[in-house]
Amino acid sequence: MNKNSTYSPIVFSLVLAAGILLGNVFFNDNNVSQNPNKFDLLLNQIEEIYVDSIDKDELTELAVQYLLEELDPHSSYIPAKDLAAVNEPMEGSFDGIGIEFNLQKDTILVVAPISGGPSQMVGIQSGDKIITVNGDTIAGTGLTNDSVFKLLRGKKGTKVKLGILRNNQIIDFELSRDKIPIYSVDVSYMVNSKTGYIKINRFSATTYQEFREASKKLLQLGMKELILDLRNNPGGYLGASINVSNEFLSSDKMIVFTKGREGIDSEYYSNDEGMLVETKVVVIINEGSASASEIVAGAIQDNDRGTIIGRRSFGKGLVQEQFQNKDGSAYRITTQRYYTPTGRCIQRPYNNGEKEDYNDEILDRYENGELLSEDSIPVIDSLQYITPLGKVVYGGGGIAPDIFVAIDTTDFHNDINAVNRMGLIRDFTFEYTDKKREELKSMGLKKFIADFEIDEKTLLQLKAFCKKQDQKLSVNEFNSYDLEIINTQLKAQIGRGIWNDDAFFPVIHKIDNTFQRALKE
Residues with a known catalytic role: 291, 302, 316
Gap between the Cα atoms of 382 and 375, Å rounded? 18
Q: Which of 137, 140, 177 is nearest to 155 (CA)?
A: 177
Gap between the Cα atoms of 101 and 111, Å rounded? 5
Kindly compute the dihedral angle of the four CA atoms of residues 95, 97, 102, 103, in this order, to the nearest 10 degrees.
Answer: -100
Amino acid identity of residue 496, one-letter, is: R
CB 319 within 8 A of CB 346: no
Per-residue CA distances from 75 to 301, 304, 352, 357 (Å) = 28, 33, 11, 16
Could you give the 3-state DSSP secondary structure of residue 1?
Answer: coil
CB 510 within 8 A of CB 519: no
Alpha helical stretches, state H, 117-276? 118-122, 145-152, 207-220, 238-246
Q: Which of 38, 113, 90 is nearest to 203 (CA)?
A: 90
The residues, any chain, with a CB within 8 Å of residue 296's CB and separated by 6 or more, are: 228, 230, 241, 244, 245, 283
Amino acid identity of residue 10, one-letter, is: I
CB 177 within 8 A of CB 62: no
Q: Which of 282, 229, 233 is nearest to 505 (CA)?
A: 229
